[in-house]
Structure 1
Amino acid sequence: MTPAYGATSLGGVTHFRVRSPQASALWLCLFDGADERRIPMDRQGDDWFAELAGQHAGAAYGYRADGEWAPEHGLWFDPAKLLVDPYAVELDRRFVQDPALTQFGVDTAHLVPRAIVPMASEPVRKEAPKFQRGGLIYEINVRGFTMLHPDVPKGIRGTVAALAHPAVLAHLKKLHVSAIELMPITAWIDERHLGPLGLSNAWGYNPVAMMALDPGLCPGGVAELRKTAAALHDAGIGVILDLVFNHTGESDIHGGVISLRGLDNAGYAHAPDGSLINDTGCGNTLDFANPAVRELTVASLHHFVRNCGVDGFRFDLAPIMARGPGFSADAPIFAEIAADPLLADRVMIAEPWDIGPGGYQLGNFPADWLEWNDKYRDDVRRFWRGDGTIGDVVTRIAGSSDIFPEQCRSVNFLAAHDGFTLADSVAYLYKHNEANGEANRDGHGENFSWNCGVEGPSDDPEVLACRDADLRALLSTLFASTGTIMLTAGDEFGRSQRGNNNAYAQDNEIGWVDWKGRDLALESFTADLAKARAEQLAFFTSFPQEGEWVKSNGEPMGNGDWQEVGVLKYRLNSANLSLSISREGPTKHARWRPA
């Protein structure tokens, strides 16, 4: 039996297997503190093997590879570089940027995390995902969500374990959350420009090891994630991981040699002239036409389902997974996931865009995938800003059948981690990213936002009343919409990032959820909406079969009414619900309730 990639124990022997087709020599490096022991590995085809008698769970290890150093030809072999196992599941420390990572012949063993040989454990009992389509997905930045939570013990704030605290579970249940979606918790490295600015990556969308949990967010490793997922499941809440398979933190040609680059650089997509393709904006793009990349991806998903009990996944810049080189809905990775017994019933969610050619693919993913619907966000925001059409907004409320004609696969959202918070979208016309150190050049320029007459914080009662009414109208629209809905943590009670619409580098009070300063009245309003939706959840899982849009006088909407009407109602006969929308003057509102 051929051992799996990574470190595994079989029959009283610990096996190490790593792929490196172009290396001339490869060593397994075992660490006891600062002491390193190098063991030459044996080659079989594209793979290298080493064996150690006995069980070595908890041992720290890495690899070194020798071969040609010719970055201009995609060859980055340097035995001075300690390399992280691409199949590592736990690391002993976080990644740090350092010039030594890029310099040939400079040893990096003191910098680079060591992988940990995993403990043997029984797989999590596989059950149907807790998540229900039509339900509420609650997007969480694990660190920022609990750093300021007064009821969570300081020792676990900012970690995966904090999500299992009774106070957190109570809040999630109050909102009738169907599943939490965790922003990346796999190990990442800061972008090179952040250190000199005194900043650090707070979001995690720059991974190096695809299935290794970040030691800062999940210091208890696999056991911590597994225990937290079990507690959430006991509360009836699913767990979805936001994963990044589109690039790695080894970045562009000026980036470091840390893992895949020093073992199998062919995992990155290259143009015919050998230059790195950058369809991500992050310096490199993983090549999903390469079977080894797909194998690593599927193995990562397996690990999180089998060993951690995860219910599903959201894929960042997901069109890249279907490039070879152009996007195809028939891409091999989709077929491989669909045919896999462990993965076929998991929740799969695409962020359906990247920055490459033909990178906007909303509506084009497999029929059983959900997709983030940015057209929902933009059309609903524009409507309540005052310049969007009623025709567009009712299409979005009814499930976006113009995008998903066969079945409702829309993940409707008004705000996400990337962009203004919901409260900031009604308080700022312009982005205010000065704290990011890029002269406010970063972040989206068009946010379809407004400020009720005052930019930023205000104590004017009229301005505050305007913003409160707008937030309630936006939230009512979201919770009345057909399809799955998503709320970013803190938006239910008016969380602000002070106008920063790209807070990826703000691991501080700009990016942390302010629990003490939350708007309790808005939170209660949102909880009431969530309760009403949960009681009628089955209605929101498919396009409406019965119901009609009617004018305020009860007459059916005519073809000529869609652009001019000021007040309308959606009467849903089958669900006994009604939505009333008005965008005129002091009566501006959206109200959704049982009829």
Structure 2
Amino acid sequence: MTSGVNGTSRTTGPPGPVAGVWPGSPDPLGARFRPRGPEGVEGTNFALWAGGAEAVELCLFDEHGGESRHLLTELTHETWHGFVPGVLPGRRYGYRVHGRWDPWTGARWNPAKLLLDPYARAVDGDFTGPGGGGALPAPVYGHVRDWPQQHVADTVRDERDSAPHVPKGVVVADDDDWSDDRRPATPWPDSVIYELHVRGFTMRHPGVPAPLRGTYAGLGHPAAVEHLVRLGVSAVELLPVHQFAHEDHLLRRGLRNYWGYNSIGYFAPHATYASGGTRGEQVGEFKRMVRALHAAGIEVILDVVYNHTAESGELGPTLSLRGIDNRRYYRLQADPRRYADYTGCGNTLHVVQPNVLRLITDSLRYWVTEMGVDGFRFDLAAALARSMHDVDMLSPFLAVIAQDPVLRQVKLIAEPWDVGSGGYQVGAFPPLWTEWNDRYRDAVRDFWRGALPDVRDLGYRLSGSSDLYAWGGRRPYASVNFVTAHDGFTLRDLVSYERKHNEANGEGNRDGTGDNRSWNCGVEGETPDPRVTALRRRQIRNLLTTLLLSTGVPMLVAGDEMGRTQGGNNNAYCQDNETGWVDWSLLEDPGWRALADLCARLLALRRAHPVLRSRSFFSGRPRGADGLRDLAWFTPGGTEMTEADWYAPTTALGMYLSGRDIPQRGPQGAPVTDDSFLAVLHAGPRPLRFTLPGPPWARSYDLLVNTALEEQHVAPRLRREAGSRISVRARSVLLWRVVRYDEEPGPV
């Protein structure tokens, strides 16, 4: 094909067939090595869905970068396929897809561009310019970027070969049946999620050997696993590990995409996180990491980005899907030259299309069945739930997930929004799904910075957000509670900065949200003032304690338990350096070590007491022989809160959780008796007198946690009689264990 100056094209015919390609099979898609292929010959079957293509070339690369092209002549149900004898694991490959070049109708085929197989299970190499330049090389773009008429630049086809500048897929062997693996299978109510970055978690870990830092092997190393076990988390949620690309604007500034929300290979573990090689070794290394975490009782959840790809909008590079069939992979506008963008990243995958839906679900099943993962957190999940344009909870994507025998059994977490109209869908996802609950984040942040007008919203958030999730059979664990996430301030920065400080990102501090709901405790940034630093540490303890005592599934962010800071950067997506990495030296500071100990202690309490991880919503009605409600709220005067109290300005409240007859999971749902607890939360700037609820709520109370203290292991334990007036330090949380009337008090 040759392109005309007006952006149209004419067909000169595809290249002729090359000997050595057998018909092969259209299923499964991707490159599958067969040790005993047709007629007992070893080789690899290649299959690529390319519905609108006129021809497809398979391109194989030798060790020196030499390319051989093989025309795939078999076409079955829009899948081009062929079996190539003698192609063994480790061989690199790509595709060139022929078709019309007519961007005005959405057609952007360009055989000069080597395309990454969407089903490649390993990727070798990166995008490189001359001398490894600081930007994406021009040949990786399907259009001529320097066309003098900029308004039509994307309509003029670039004929330069991109193969020397782009990564290649790698043939991988299939030889793992996972027979030696034991999945933890932690029930949702018992789950505690720990969000971490594979590279950032171990880059500065002194116990991980230097060659393994920043890799899958480093995360699976005993020194890294030991910290997770000591904390008591049940699952790690890994920031994206699908193969991703770096944006041109970052490379031009000498930066790289660190978080990885720019996927280009949904089956391939990101190659630079592998310590042992990128010719398929990354696959085995990832599996060994999963096994090590499973052996420690820790599940692996992947943060996945199926809403968009690294190809961006019409001015973006041609790396894979755009060159295979632009019109059936991406959502286009009424003007099909343009892309519909519900993600803020230039494009949106057209999930309603069967080939796109298959790509996503095949990828999900692959990571569960062949890579051993236990669940997924879906970035901008509302974009996946759009049918034509509107978010639709009966959309094909959600329907397919609900009936899939593999996927409906794993943990499914939605980020329940996107950037399009009507994209905010917190509380709307159907049963099977849990959701990131940003309303929890906002309410807890506002309470502890003194910005809540009353405590109505806080009461819902602490008790499981029944206003959002008590429908359709959903349970409190539909709410993934969090105060911080990778996107935004760390916990330490939340109490140290009121403004974002993202200058290092090179965008004039325009990136990142300005709505941080943070309080710097009187001074912006780090300070030697001991009073300010003490208050900040107390606020961190308050936020952490509130999170871990709340009903729902708590999510922690790696390093928050030891005071990690990003220097006020609330959008460290391009900071692959000390800003984005966990600083393990913080544990040498007694104060930060005490914070990690408090976190572990609270998680141990949560594990030990079902009432702190309730499987059902509290009713507020009497439960058990003593006639006490399962959940009760108290004013500082020790009286139960009235409706008027919920609307009144206040800085303090008490939350009483009754451990009587807690419904348990099992065939019969038999209730058990647990301890009862009283949590007193006081966000005011001055000390408070609080009356502990009297009879019949308790005989007495034993103090378990006092966030006013940096060191929590205080002996002897403090006991107070029911009805006593106690002093609560400014901005602190007290957790009391209830000693009931039918219980022997025992020694303090």
Task: Specify the TM-score bucket, using the shorter chain as the normaliser.
Answer: over 0.9
Tell me whether 1:235 sits opposite 2:299 in the alignment. no
What is the match of residue 8 of structure 1? 32
Root mean square deviation, CA, Å: 1.6
Between the aligned partners of 2:483 and 2:106, the Cα distance in structure 1 is 42
Q: How does 1:90-239 map to 2 (within 5 A)?
A: 90-96=122-128, 97-102=136-141, 103=144, 104-125=158-179, 130-134=185-189, 135-218=191-274, 219=277, 220-239=281-300
| TM-score, normalization by structure 1 | 0.97
What is the match of residue 304 of structure 1? 367
**Counterpart pick for 1:554 among 638, 661, 665:** 638
Q: How does 1:427-442 map to 2 (within 5 A)?
A: 427-442=496-511
**Counterpart pick for 2:331 among 247, 263, 269:** 269
What is the match of residue 429 of structure 2? 365
What is the match of residue 444 of structure 2? 380
Offset of 1:539 from its aligned partner?
A: 4.3
Amino acid at match of 2:679: L
Offset of 1:336 from its aligned partner?
A: 1.3
Offset of 1:189 from its aligned partner?
A: 0.9
SS in 1 for 2:605: helix
Tell me whether 1:40 sits opposite 2:71 in the alignment. yes
Offset of 1:166 from its aligned partner?
A: 1.2
Offset of 1:129 from its aligned partner?
A: 5.5
What is the match of residue 464 of structure 2? 399
Q: How does 1:334-373 map to 2 (within 5 A)?
A: 334-373=398-437
SS in 1 for 2:584: coil
**Counterpart pick for 2:597 among 524, 537, 555:** 524
Amino acid at match of 1:105: E
What is the match of residue 681 of structure 2? 581
CA contact (8 A) 2:340 2:347 kept: yes
Higher mean Cα deviation, 422-431 or 384-393? Answer: 384-393
What is the match of residue 68 of structure 1? 100
**Counterpart pick for 2:386 among 323, 342, 356:** 323
SS in 2 for 1:440: coil
SS in 1 for 2:95: strand
SS in 1 for 2:331: coil
SS in 2 for 1:89: coil
Offset of 1:582 from its aligned partner?
A: 1.1
In structure 2, relative to structure 1, the CA distance for the partners of 1:31 and 1:538 (3 Å cut) is: farther
Between the aligned partners of 1:38 and 1:54, the Cα distance in structure 2 is 15
Between the aligned partners of 1:124 and 1:337, the Cα distance in structure 2 is 23
CA contact (8 A) 2:548 2:606 kept: yes
SS in 1 for 2:510: coil
CA contact (8 A) 1:211 1:303 kept: yes
In structure 1, stretches of 5+ residues that fail to align are none
CA contact (8 A) 1:132 1:178 kept: no
Between the aligned partners of 1:459 and 1:539, the Cα distance in structure 2 is 37
**Counterpart pick for 2:655 among 551, 570, 588:** 570
Between the aligned partners of 2:422 and 2:87, the Cα distance in structure 1 is 49
Amino acid at match of 1:114: K
Offset of 1:594 from its aligned partner?
A: 3.5
In structure 2, relative to structure 1, the CA distance for the partners of 1:538 and 1:163 (3 Å cut) is: farther
What is the match of residue 245 of structure 1? 306
Between the aligned partners of 2:334 and 2:86, the Cα distance in structure 1 is 47
Percent identity between the aligned chains? 44
Between the aligned partners of 1:95 and 1:397, the Cα distance in structure 2 is 47
Between the aligned partners of 1:593 and 1:18, the Cα distance in structure 2 is 61
| TM-score, normalization by structure 2 | 0.77
CA offsets 1:19-60 (integer angstroms, 9 cap, x no match): 112222211111112111111002334221111125622211
CA offsets 1:485-519 (integer angstroms, 9 cap, x no match): 10010011111100000000111111111111242
Which has the larger Rg? 2
In structure 2, relative to structure 1, the CA distance for the partners of 1:12 and 1:35 (3 Å cut) is: same
Amino acid at match of 2:572: A
Higher mean Cα deviation, 62-71 or 263-272? Answer: 62-71
In structure 2, stretches of 5+ residues that fail to align are 1-24, 39-43, 129-135, 145-157, 620-629, 660-673, 687-728, 739-748
Provide the aligned length of Structure 1 versus Structure 2.
Answer: 595
SS in 2 for 1:65: strand
Offset of 1:537 from its aligned partner?
A: 4.4
CA contact (8 A) 2:442 2:517 kept: yes
SS in 1 for 2:419: coil
Tell me whether 1:507 sits opposite 2:576 in the alignment. yes
Offset of 1:571 from its aligned partner?
A: 1.4
Offset of 1:431 from its aligned partner?
A: 0.4
Between the aligned partners of 1:364 and 1:54, the Cα distance in structure 2 is 51
Higher mean Cα deviation, 583-592 or 202-211? Answer: 583-592
Higher mean Cα deviation, 149-158 or 563-572? Answer: 563-572
In structure 2, relative to structure 1, the CA distance for the partners of 1:268 and 1:128 (3 Å cut) is: same
**Counterpart pick for 2:539 among 470, 492, 499:** 470
Between the aligned partners of 1:244 and 1:385, the Cα distance in structure 2 is 33
**Counterpart pick for 2:121 among 89, 108, 116:** 89
CA contact (8 A) 2:113 2:163 kept: yes
CA offsets 1:125-175 (integer angstroms, 9 cap, x no match): 586653332321000011111111111111111111111111111111111
Offset of 1:334 from its aligned partner?
A: 1.6
SS in 2 for 1:516: helix
CA contact (8 A) 2:262 2:309 kept: yes
